[in-house]
Amino acid sequence: MSGLNDVLDKLSERSKASLSELIEFASIPSVSAQPDHKPDMERAAQWLSTRLKRAGLKTVELWPTAGHAAVYAEYLEAGEDAPTLLVYGHYDVQPPDPLEKWHTPPFTPTVKDERLYGRGVSDDKGPLLLTVQVVDAYLSTLGKLPLNLKFLFEGEEEVGSAHLNELVAQNAERLRADFVLSADGGMWSADIPSLTVSARGLAALELTVRGPTKDLHSGRHGGSVHNPLHALATLIAGLHDESGHVTVSGFYDGIAELTPQQREGIRQLPFTDEDYLTQTGAPAVYGESGYSTLERQWHRPTLEVNGMWGGYTGEGSKTVLPSEAHAKITCRLVPGQEPGRIAELLKQHLEAKLPPGVTLNIHPSEHGARAYRLPDAHPGGALAREVLAELYGKPPLDVGMGGSIPVLETFQSVLGLDTVFFSFSVGDEDIHAPNEFFRIPRLSEGQQAWAQLWWKLGHQEKR
Amino acid sequence: MSGLNDVLDKLSERSKASLSELIEFASIPSVSAQPDHKPDMERAAQWLSTRLKRAGLKTVELWPTAGHAAVYAEYLEAGEDAPTLLVYGHYDVQPPDPLEKWHTPPFTPTVKDERLYGRGVSDDKGPLLLTVQVVDAYLSTLGKLPLNLKFLFEGEEEVGSAHLNELVAQNAERLRADFVLSADGGMWSADIPSLTVSARGLAALELTVRGPTKDLHSGRHGGSVHNPLHALATLIAGLHDESGHVTVSGFYDGIAELTPQQREGIRQLPFTDEDYLTQTGAPAVYGESGYSTLERQWHRPTLEVNGMWGGYTGEGSKTVLPSEAHAKITCRLVPGQEPGRIAELLKQHLEAKLPPGVTLNIHPSEHGARAYRLPDAHPGGALAREVLAELYGKPPLDVGMGGSIPVLETFQSVLGLDTVFFSFSVGDEDIHAPNEFFRIPRLSEGQQAWAQLWWKLGHQEKR
């Protein structure tokens, strides 16, 4: 283990530099959803390529797509007998809105109380960057890595990884590996080590309700034509019943009920609704009746409106009866639900429930993903549990993930690979919200863990 | 009548200059609802004062309020035996949003096909300005007016005339008159002369539904805390039943049913739902069951959402479960409904219907007005009908107005004065909407009508 210790010492020695690099990386506003950030996306991909090369990787490539490019790099010098890992992460970030709620500028990463605040620091630039820093430490101390590595860092995760399927299929041969180790995903809690073994899938659509062809004066016309805002509210309100069940016919078809074992496992987790409400600030938990909070988050499908708008939303008042009203909807899926079918069922439901006096336009999103579950006996999962247990002094919990990583589906269906989540972000770090942060000590912890996992994987008994 | 003809000739001669002046006036973005337009409001008040002075009026004053100032001017040289009119109008305009729907810039008034396009040209800068131009024509040809005139042009009509009540009360003595002639209001149709004899009242409030204290990731948290957008949709959807009736308890209390005469009068008007749908572009009429379109617009109270928003409303997608959701609501009222009581009933209703898992904040607006009706035998109304009949060659129709002019209530309750609507804008001129326009020939028609009405009023048999 003397070789590994040298690597770990090097990482300790470089801890300040590691943080500075993350600050630099997270200063680039690589917002994949907004076309005016296209140059920033290119800048971020370039920055990452340069960093991979500086780490000592000889093969670093930009893989263009119809959207944003992916960054690919490889180290194959461990030889054919050594295991090969595919490391996944993403360099794009969520839009920073609402800007006025940030305490520090989202793209001026700011250190405060052992945390780094900024958009993307936790999701996923911190967890991604530390894997590159571990490569650098290995190559600059030992001159080699104990296993083969392939890095695939995409630029479209926050917009549904629309082109990744195609890209992975085109490069299936080059991406061959034993399994995927994902730098994206996040741990469940800051205090308790955990391994995420499942993720929900995703189906999304946007709808527009139209009434009059132009905005009308609500005094003159109010009460004589249908107001698209009223019609939209009726449609949205009708998507759930009073027990929190989704009313879309067929939505729950093909879903397995939770097993007594699953329910018991969740019951034993150190989780209380009180703590959860303290963490989120919500006045009460709320959801589908018959399920606990974690059961709802990990094992039940949901339908959420992510945005809804129409009419006058500025200061003061404007007595308008608007021409249009809009909503963005995403569903989180569990095993048994097909994203395309769910979007279609939702479309049919909305069309059938449309009130009179308005028309409806539905734009299904390319944003879709099946739910995922890591097999219980997966060897990568076992190794990850071992590393975490050593690092934190207690065995990690198996947890689910309410969110989605569409790429899991891609790796499984196109490459036949399972994915082990090994991210060092934490679920409470306000990702997708104002004041996203990353716990600075996690940068070192993550580096150590990745260094150890690679060492173990490269030095285990030959399979 | 030779004096009057000189005035009319002068107005004809100046018709181009009149239009140029309106373009200049309407270029000032006097948006009362938006604080950053405060300097423009001051500029518009100053412009109007200067124009009144240039018309030959010696007494022109700015009357400050806690909000935007009113412009006051008077001509009392007709003497104590002559009648005295109070002329009302407003120089503030609606916000121009949504900007992207304008074909020409809202504050660059543009002539096209006998129409002038721009924010405020119809509501109320054109109709207001022409009254000043008539004064100018009288004084520059005859050196005098046949009656006493007081002008009160306010700057807060589009934000509910919040300070006008106080201002009028403070200046009640100076504002004494026989009745009010309003340059605001609008005619019912471009083809048929009409006199507006009633207006609906107004009650308004804004609501905020709050869930978690910060935006959450809808994947991680969706389905386990209540989404404020869902709760808002439920509240809004519940405000009407399937027959289009407002469900707020007590909302319809104290309202008189339409009389058979009112219904018969409306039935005889040259109005069809088909034409109305062509005009508005709505796919169907819609509203409270048991009433025709014009009955709904003129004689039934309504509740309309003017704006609704929350979550991510930008391009692309952002899987957020937002912390807040908002809506702006206005009710149009009919005689028998008190604005304050309606706002309170609505507040109680929303609080009682609030779904669990969220909190509610309600901000009632100062924007409030009782409904109004001009007495059938009012002498000002009779004179206005006479002038319109001569100008257009057919007797005007008595029509209602779906919108509200809060100041009517002020003039009645504080000064004891009735108001005759004598505006030359038309109800289809997209006021409060993109591409507001004013029919350019109406500028001359309005000038002639005001000149004639003043002449008749000043030369009629002594009362």
By the 10 Å C-beta count (0-12 exposed, 13-18 middle, 19+ buried), A36 is classed as: exposed
Chain B residue with Cα closest to A160: B317
CATH code, residues B2-199+371-459: 3.40.630.10
Query: Under the phi-then-psi rule, with left for phi > 0, alpha for psi from -120 to 50, and beta for the rest, what region is B135?
Result: alpha
Return the pLDDT at A341: 96
Cβ of A34 and B306 within 8 Å? no
pLDDT, one tens digit for every residue, chain A (463 residues): 579 999 999 999 999 999 999 999 999 999 999 999 999 999 999 999 999 999 999 999 999 999 999 999 999 999 999 999 999 999 999 999 999 999 999 999 999 999 999 999 999 999 999 999 999 999 999 999 999 999 999 999 998 888 999 999 999 999 999 999 999 988 888 888 999 888 899 999 999 999 999 999 999 899 999 999 999 999 999 999 999 999 999 999 999 999 998 899 899 888 999 999 999 999 999 999 999 999 999 999 999 999 999 999 998 888 999 999 999 999 999 999 999 999 999 999 999 999 999 999 999 887 688 898 898 889 999 999 999 999 999 889 888 888 887 788 889 989 999 999 999 999 889 998 999 999 999 999 999 999 999 999 999 865 4
Chain B residue with Cα closest to A300: B223
Chain B residue with Cα closest to A428: B216
Return the pLDDT at A378: 95
Best mutation target, A196, A308, A324, to test chain B (most B CBs within 10 A): A308
A21/A269 Cα distance (integer angstroms): 36
Residue B180: its H or E element = strand B179-182
Q: Touching check for B6 and chain A: CB below 8 Å?
A: no
Q: Touching check for A122 and chain B: CB below 8 Å?
A: no
Contacts of A222 in chain B (CB under 8 A): 297, 302, 304, 330, 332, 402
Contacts of A322 in chain B (CB under 8 A): 306-307
Average predicted confidence (pLDDT) for chain A: 94
Nearest to A333 by CA among A250, A237, A261: A250
- Residues B271/A343, Cβ–Cβ less than 8 Å: no
Annotate A119-136 with DSSP letters as a single string: TTIIIIIHHHHHHHHHHH
Cβ of A97 and B359 within 8 Å? no
A73/A77 Cα distance (integer angstroms): 13
Cβ of B306 and A307 within 8 Å? no
Return the pLDDT at A326: 98
- How far is the alpha carbon of B284 from chain A, nearest alpha carbon, in Å? 5
Chain A residue with Cα closest to B219: A403
By the 10 Å C-beta count (0-12 exposed, 13-18 middle, 19+ buried), A142 is classed as: middle
Number of Cβ atoms within 10 Å of the Cβ of B50? 11
Average predicted confidence (pLDDT) for chain B: 94
Of A287, A327, A433, the CB nearest to B217: A433
pLDDT tens-digit readout, B3-33: 999 999 999 999 999 999 999 999 999 999 9
Of A160, A212, A325, the CB nearest to B281: A212
Of B101, B226, B401, the CB nearest to A286: B226
Q: Is the pLDDT of residue B270 over 90?
A: no
Q: Touching check for A140 and chain B: CB below 8 Å?
A: no
Of B220, B304, B319, the CB nearest to A330: B319
Strand order in the sheet with B84-90: B59-63, B70-75, B148-154, B84-90, B179-182, B419-421
Residue A151: its H or E element = strand A148-154
Cβ of B309 and A305 within 8 Å? no
Annotate A319-377 with DSSP letters as a single string: -EE-SEEEEEEEEEE-TT--HHHHHHHHHHHHHHHPPTT-EEEEEEEEEEE--EE--TT
Return the pLDDT at B397: 87
Return the pLDDT at A463: 43
Chain B residue with Cα closest to A321: B306
Contacts of B202 in chain A (CB under 8 A): 219, 319
B60/B27 Cα distance (integer angstroms): 22
Cβ of B280 and A213 within 8 Å? yes
CATH code, residues A201-255+301-368: 3.30.70.360
Contacts of A215 in chain B (CB under 8 A): 98, 101, 432-434
- How far is the alpha carbon of A88 from chain B, nearest alpha carbon, in Å? 20
Q: Which of residues 58-97 of B touch A (CB under 8 A)?
A: 94-95, 97
Chain B residue with Cα closest to A302: B223
**Half-sphere exposure (CA, 13 Å, Cβ side) for B404?**
34
Q: Which amino acid is at B100?
A: E
Per-residue pLDDT band at B261 (split at 50, 70, 90): confident
CATH architecture of B202-255+301-369: 2-Layer Sandwich (3.30)
Cβ of A230 and B237 within 8 Å? yes
Cβ of A97 and B330 within 8 Å? no
Kindly report the length of chain A: 463
Top pLDDT among B379 and A463 is at B379
Return the pLDDT at A409: 83
- How far is the alpha carbon of B188 from chain A, nearest alpha carbon, in Å? 10
Of A297, A315, A322, the CB nearest to B33: A315
Q: Which of residues 393-432 of A touch B (CB under 8 A)?
A: 401-404, 427, 430-432
Helix or strand or coil: residue B71? strand
Per-residue pLDDT band at B463 (split at 50, 70, 90): very low
Rounded to the nearest 10 degrees, what angle do helices B15-26 and B2-13 cross at? 60
Q: Touching check for A219 and chain B: CB below 8 Å?
A: yes
Q: Which of residues 279-298 of A touch B (CB under 8 A)?
A: 280-288, 293-294, 296-297
Contacts of A206 in chain B (CB under 8 A): 317
Of A304, A322, A332, the CB nearest to B227: A304
Cβ of A233 and B237 within 8 Å? yes
Give the ipTM of the model, two decimals please.
Answer: 0.77
Contacts of B297 in chain A (CB under 8 A): 220-224
Of B159, B220, B356, the CB nearest to A297: B220
- Please name the residue that has the structure tokens 């969220």: B358
Q: Touching check for A433 and chain B: CB below 8 Å?
A: yes
- Domain edges within chain B: 2-199+371-459, 202-255+301-369
Q: Is the pLDDT of residue B271 over 70?
A: yes
A386/A390 Cα distance (integer angstroms): 6
- Please name the residue that has the structure tokens 């207690």: A394
Question: Quick one: tokens of B275?
Answer: 């034409």
Q: Is the pLDDT of residue B394 over 60?
A: yes
Q: Touching check for A228 and chain B: CB below 8 Å?
A: no
Tell me which DSSP letter residue A192 carries: S
Q: Touching check for B365 and chain A: CB below 8 Å?
A: yes
Per-residue pLDDT band at B1 (split at 50, 70, 90): low
pLDDT tens-digit readout, B417-459: 999 999 999 988 999 899 999 999 999 999 999 999 999 999 9
Per-residue pLDDT band at B111 (split at 50, 70, 90): very high
Tell me which DSSP letter residue B93 carries: B
Cβ of B317 and A33 within 8 Å? yes
pLDDT tens-digit readout, B64-104: 999 999 999 999 999 999 999 999 999 999 999 999 999 99
Contacts of B216 in chain A (CB under 8 A): 280, 432-433
Return the pLDDT at A1: 54
Question: Quick one: tokens of A217?
Answer: 């004066």
Of A33, A216, A223, the CB nearest to B287: A223
Return the pLDDT at B192: 85
Question: Quick one: tokens of B405?
Answer: 């002019």
CA end-to-end span of chain A = 21
Of B32, B219, B288, the CB nearest to A402: B219
Q: How far is CA A174 from CA A165, A383, B275, in A?
A: 14, 24, 66
Contacts of B357 in chain A (CB under 8 A): 282-286
Helix or strand or coil: residue B345? helix
- Residues B310/B232, Cβ–Cβ less than 8 Å: yes
Q: Which amino acid is at A376?
A: D
- Please name the residue that has the structure tokens 């716990």: A439
- How far is the alpha carbon of A22 from chain B, nearest alpha carbon, in Å? 23
Question: Quick one: tokens of A109?
Answer: 């990463």
pLDDT tens-digit readout, B128-170: 999 999 999 999 999 999 999 999 999 999 988 889 999 999 9
Cβ of A307 and B310 within 8 Å? yes
Contacts of A327 in chain B (CB under 8 A): 229
